[in-house]
Amino acid sequence: MELNKTPPPEEAGTPSPKTSVEASKNAMASRNLMKMRQKRITRLQVLNTVQYGGRKALGQYRRDGRSVAY
């Protein structure tokens, strides 16, 4: 019990904006990759990821299958 009183520095308080942004990006990337492995990407997925700025994580696919250069 006593050992766990102080959390490691990255968990203490609010993390710096950069690390939290990168962590969320990594989480989105891994989630999208898992989705893409399970099924072909759908138009709705593309719209959602573009809307939420996940273009890099997705590999920029359009619904016609060609990649988009951002």
pLDDT at 57: 47
pLDDT at 13: 53
pLDDT at 31: 77
Q: What is this structure's pTM?
A: 0.22
Q: Tell me the per-residue pLDDT of 13-70, one tens digit each, with 9 for 90 and over.
A: 555 556 677 777 777 777 777 766 666 656 666 665 555 554 444 555 555 555 555 4
The C-alpha torsion from 39 through 52 and 43 to 33, rounded to 10°, is -20
